[in-house]
Amino acid sequence: MSLRLAAMAEAVLRTGDGRAKAALSLDYAAQWAAARAAGAPLEIGTASPPDRPARPARPDLLDPRDVPRRRPGSPQGRIAMLHAVAHIELNAVDLHWDIIARFTDTPMPLGFYDDWVKSAGEESKHFNLVCDVLEAHGSHYGALPAHAGMWRAAEDTATDLMGRLAVVPMVLEARGLDVTPDMIALFEKAGDAGAVAALRTIYAEEVAHVAYGSKWFHFLCGRHELDPKDNFHDLVRRYFRGPLKPPFNEAKRAEAGLPPDFYWPLTETQGK
């Protein structure tokens, strides 16, 4: 008998080892897709997601100020950069399942779950891809310290689905679209074809994650008769610390359904 979707999400969140978390996530994403294709969607059910997801014993999680900085031009600097990307991708696996597990009180169309399950599967693949590259370089996820506090955005928006959509896909994942092209160029210059291929896959797939965020944010604004732009500004100012940082990848943001008048006004520091 198959689990309900929210229980699957909770099981992923409660799995600590990174590769095991990714494997379970991919398995559940495939089960959801197969049931949908067969015209017999799994039930959503309810769950009790942990406040913080289980994580492996390593990496050590440090305050961002204490994470050693390495020159991006050096081989060690590039390993550190890939390690940071692996950490972001593992966090993303949990973020995508958390939005499924945490907000089951809010009735949402099945398409909402389709989108987040698909992207949770993609985040799991991204984590595996970056781990493969690290391992090909003789390193691994857990070999270096990583940023603590990545779960902050999830905690801050644990009771506000629109806030979660505004801050996680529409601010944090959109930021990924801004910075990834420079990262790809850096690895191209270093002749690291494996890293370039992994980052290109990530870059191509993240556009849809931002788009899902924008789509469901607009859906909920419509349900509550709220102006999407004003509501986005209010929620980002409430839940996100500090201004958004240009330069923005305006072309990819547009592809993902994020117009400039959503993010440009948030580049100015305002009272939270």
Binding site for Fe ion (CB under 5 A): 89, 92, 123, 126, 173, 206, 209
> In the complex with Fe ion, which residue's Cβ is closer, 71 or 112?
112
User: DSSP assignment of 223-255, as one string?
Assistant: HTT--HHHHHHHHHHHHS-S---SPP-HHHHHH
Residue nearest to Fe ion (CB): 209
Report, in Å, the least distance between residue 85 CB and Fe ion: 9
Torsion angles phi and psi, residue 185, rounded to 5 = -60, -40
> In the complex with Fe ion, which residue's Cβ is closer, 6 or 172?
172
> In the complex with Fe ion, which residue's Cβ is closer, 173 or 178?
173
Find how far residue 77's CA is from the centre of its chain: 23
Q: Kindly list the distances between the CA atom of residue 81 and the CA atoms of 26, 107, 130, 141, in Å, as whole numbers in the listed order.
A: 25, 39, 10, 11
> In the complex with Fe ion, which residue's Cβ is closer, 114 or 234?
114
User: DSSP assignment of 115-180, as one string?
Assistant: HHHHHHHHHHHHHHHHHHHHHHTT--TTSS-EES-TTHHHHHTTT-HHHHHHHIIIIIIHHHHHHH
For residue 144, count other CB atoms closer than 10 A to its CB. Answer: 23
Report, in Å, the least distance between residue 217 CB and Fe ion: 15
> In the complex with Fe ion, which residue's Cβ is closer, 3 or 84?
84
For residue 65, count other CB atoms closer than 10 A to its CB. Answer: 6
Largest CA distance in the chain: 53
Report, in Å, the least distance between residue 242 CB and Fe ion: 21
Report, in Å, the least distance between residue 226 CB and Fe ion: 25
Report, in Å, the least distance between residue 123 CB and Fe ion: 5
> In the complex with Fe ion, which residue's Cβ is closer, 237 or 258?
258
Find how far residue 192's CA is from the centre of its chain: 24
Report, in Å, the least distance between residue 228 CB and Fe ion: 21
